[in-house]
Homo-oligomer: A and B are copies of this chain.
Amino acid sequence: MDNEFIKQETNVTGEGFLPGLAIDTVIFGFHDDKLKVLILSYKNTGLYALPGGFIHIDEDVNAAARRVLFSRTGLTNIFLEQFYVFGDKSRYDGTSLKTIMEARDFIPPDDHWLLKRFVSIGYYALVDFTKVIPTPDSISDSCDWFGLDDLPSLMQDHRQIIDKALQTLQANLDHKLIGFNLLSENFTMGDLQRLYETILNKKLIRAAFQRKMLGLGILERVAKKWTGGAHKAPYLYRFIARN
């Protein structure tokens, strides 16, 4: 696929990239009533990590984040937002990067740029699970969805990054209207409520939830759904931005 990392690895001084600055992306999906996160696993190391990357010297930081997102999901026009900068000096431990490189039979010099301290800008993305084709990079075994309760042990502080991303998602869900990005174009009110309940980790009252959502004036009814369920078929809704 891409050989981005190979370029970064053999480029011992990190030429062409902003030094010391990285991006880590928490890509959320929703499937089987569970929140999922895209995780990379590195060959022959047992190491798992968030998709991340570096910023080209002539690239906007937000554009770099979008590039990383696209390279893992193939998706454009996706909700993607900064949520925190992880900048504690203790957060970065070069040993995991060293392990990854050595597993690829590349022995980095001690002053290799990837082994130095990095500050990482955390982004979170909300994607339609059904539209994503998880795409590992050149040095990864795989790129896979993991449930939040089912995460492997992650490199560095990536677990805390996910936790903080989830907190941000929870805090923003109500006032920004971003949940829809996790669903397909058309969805039922039940789908939407289950999504909210999963993210907020609490039961919601069905009648009140429906009344509220419809009252916002951001949903359009598109058609009847034949659910395959032994009950009245629900409407399908579609998110429409207001002006």
Which residues of A approach B to under 8 Å, CB–CB? 18-21, 55, 57-62, 82, 84-85, 87-90, 117, 119, 121, 171, 175
Q: Nearest B residue to A118 by beta-carbon distance?
A: B18
Q: Is the interface of A mostly helix, strand, loop or mixed?
A: mixed
The reply to whether B61 and A85 contact each other, CB–CB distance below 8 Å, is: yes
- Using known A-B contacts A18-B117, A19-B19, A21-B21, determine if residue A61 contacts B87 with beta carbons closer than 8 Å: yes
Task: Give the distance to chain B from A191, nearest Cβ to Cβ, in Å.
Answer: 27
List 30 interface pairs A-B (beta carbons < 8 Å), by A numbering. A18-B20, A18-B117, A18-B119, A19-B19, A19-B20, A20-B20, A20-B21, A21-B21, A21-B119, A55-B87, A55-B119, A57-B117, A58-B89, A59-B89, A60-B87, A60-B88, A60-B89, A60-B90, A61-B85, A61-B87, A61-B88, A61-B119, A62-B87, A62-B88, A82-B84, A82-B85, A85-B85, A85-B121, A87-B121, A171-B175
Instruction: Write out the residue numbers on chain B whose beta carbons fall within 8 Å of the beta carbon of A58.
Output: 89
Max chain B C-beta neighbours (<10 A), residue from A20, A57, A62? A20
A94 to B119, CA, bound (A): 23
In the complex, chain B residues whose CB is within 8 Å of the CB of A119: 18, 21, 55, 61
